[in-house]
């Protein structure tokens, strides 16, 4: 009985995202600035692999979410938790240059193509105004609150199939050097407002960061924004 209680307590502790992430290891103790810098590195590397995100999709994306080094607690229930950032095009209709980043969290669901406790990078393209708007204010469950699909790859790949045309969010993963589209149905994306307050001030929210043009991006986000601006300087509708 005592052994059973100890096991239950251990599993309960592992399931709680706070303690799991608060260990002061090299991946778990990243500051918000570290995450922005890592997101910039991930985006730069992803856009420079031969079979990466189709240019047509990059040009149509309103926002991009980058989650560097998401860890999967496969030894418990297959759940995952990661922190990263979302960058959107500025302007009322997302037609301006890429703006200041807001911090976001990825939670839940089993990421079937990943194995063990391996760290995996995730990139999400937010493909329309509705998808972008919903992410500004609340937690969004992929596949339920927002239609989602594994994104196609290859810079010249055709992206006009029904699945890609209908999807509000397209998702990609990179692990062990392999880059692929991946379905993350059941997982959730939400604003990480605690991290946003640390970066921008106590009254800041993700919605204000993304929609208010006067918000100045932190220096740590320079490479991420520059990479997106170089890759896709203008929104392409349709």
By DSSP bridging, strand 140-141 and strand 63-73 are unpaired
> Each residue of 50-68: pLDDT tens digit?
888 999 999 999 999 999 9
> Each residue of 116-125: pLDDT tens digit?
456 789 999 9
* Element containing residue 38 per DSSP (H, E): helix 32-46
What is the arithmetic mean of pLDDT over 19-32?
A: 44
CA distance 66 to 104: 9
User: Is pLDDT above 90 for 15?
Assistant: no
Residue 124, both tokens: 């999400």
67 by Cβ neighbours in 10 Å (0-12 / 13-18 / 19+) ranks as buried
User: Is pLDDT above 90 for 7?
Assistant: no
Of residues 172 and 182, more confidence is placed in: 172
What is the arithmetic mean of pLDDT over 81-91?
A: 92
Q: Average pLDDT over the chain, rounded to whole?
A: 80
Of residues 201 and 177, more confidence is placed in: 201
User: Is pLDDT above 80 for 127?
Assistant: yes
% of the chain beyond a pLDDT of 70: 74
User: Is pLDDT above 50 for 114?
Assistant: no
SS3 31: coil
User: Is pLDDT above 50 for 4?
Assistant: no
Mention every residue, 6+ apart, whose C-beta is less than 8 A from residue 174: 42, 45, 46, 120, 121, 122, 123, 180
Identify the pLDDT of residue 159.
52
Identify the pLDDT of residue 105.
93
Identify the pLDDT of residue 89.
97
User: Is pLDDT above 70 for 157?
Assistant: no
235 by Cβ neighbours in 10 Å (0-12 / 13-18 / 19+) ranks as middle
Of residues 111 and 230, more confidence is placed in: 230
């Amino acid at each position: 009985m005592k052994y059973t209680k100890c096991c239950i307590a251990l599993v309960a502790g592992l399931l709680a995202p706070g303690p799991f992430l608060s260990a002061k290891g090299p991946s778990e103790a990243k500051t918000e600035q570290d995450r922005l810098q890592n997101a910039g590195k991930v985006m730069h590397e992803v856009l420079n692999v031969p079979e990466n995100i189709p240019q047509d999709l990059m040009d149509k994306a309103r926002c991009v979410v980058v989650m560097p080094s998401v860890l999967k607690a496969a030894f418990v229930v297959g759940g995952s938790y990661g922190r990263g950032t979302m960058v959107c095009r500025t302007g009322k209709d997302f037609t301006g240059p890429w703006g200041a980043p807001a911090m976001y969290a990825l939670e839940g669901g089993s990421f079937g193509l990943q194995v063990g406790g391996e760290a995996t990078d995730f990139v999400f393209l937010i493909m329309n105004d509705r998808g972008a708007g919903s992410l500004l204010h609340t937690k969004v469950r992929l596949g339920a609150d927002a239609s989602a699909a594994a994104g196609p790859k290859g810079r010249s790949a055709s992206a006009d199939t029904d699945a890609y045309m209908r999807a509000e969010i397209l998702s990609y993963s990179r692990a062990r050097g392999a880059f692929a589209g991946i379905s993350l149905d059941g997982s959730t994306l939400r604003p990480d407002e605690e991290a946003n307050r640390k970066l921008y001030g106590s009254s800041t929210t993700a919605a204000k960061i993304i929609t208010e043009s006067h918000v100045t991006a932190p220096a740590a986000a320079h490479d991420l924004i520059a990479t997106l601006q170089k890759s896709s300087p203008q929104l392409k509708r349709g």
